[in-house]
Amino acid sequence: MNRKLSISGLFLIIYFVMAFNAFSQTNVQSSAINEMDSQLDNIMILHLGENFDTRKTVEGEITFWLSKYKFSASPSNRYFEHKRIPTKDQIVEVLKENGFDGILTTVFTDIETKERFENPQAAYNLTPTSPTIYNFLDSYQNKYSTGYTIQEKAFVVHSKLFKTVDESVLYEATTETYQPQSLDLAVEDFSKSIAKELKKSKVLEKK
């Protein structure tokens, strides 16, 4: 009876590990903060992309995650009736009319495929010091013990936070989202990362 429970538990653990690895993951590759003694309390989110639906999704997600941290932000698509990327004059006009003191821009700088080396022994923590698990998965261990290379798609996004009054850059970052199952999941992942980074940077005031 105990053995059956152990095997069932093992399958459950493996399932969750594999399921976790199947989801996308965002890494912040680089970030920089202008050390000015300045905080913004009302920003507009603008995604620079020709596809309006993508732009609306990105702006909505970032706005949502920033609001979770009690920051005041609004998507640009709320202020422009047309679906084209607004011109500089149009943006400046909306920023002034609505009292925005900053604008966060995002853009896909690359969608690329990268190779990554995967080592199942490290991933699943299979070691000879765990005889039950090691023996149970012996064939898997022997088959893949040297590891293997997998192809991953990566969405690369560059973000910049500008101060409205003088157009200075207060914050910028580059993120890479690996292996997203869909564009929507990639957007959700990097939007969370951007919001967390901005929270850490302390360049925004809470409501």
Domain ranges of the chain: 25-201
**Mean pLDDT throughout 50-59?**
92
Whole-angstrom CA distances from 129 to 119, 122, 123, 137, 179 are 18, 14, 16, 13, 33
Select, from the ranges 3-17, 37-51, 117-131, 145-159, the one with the highest average predicted confidence (pLDDT): 37-51
140-175 pLDDT, tens digit each? 444 444 556 666 677 888 999 999 988 889 999 888
87-116 pLDDT, tens digit each? 989 999 999 999 999 999 999 887 766 666
pTM over 0.85: no
The predicted pLDDT at position 123 comes to 43
Supply the mean pLDDT for the chain. Answer: 75
Closest CA to 177 of 167, 163, 187: 187
Sign of CA dihedral 104, 174, 204, 35: negative
Query: Architecture of 25-201 per CATH?
Result: 3-Layer(aba) Sandwich (3.40)
169 vs 177: which has the higher pLDDT: 169
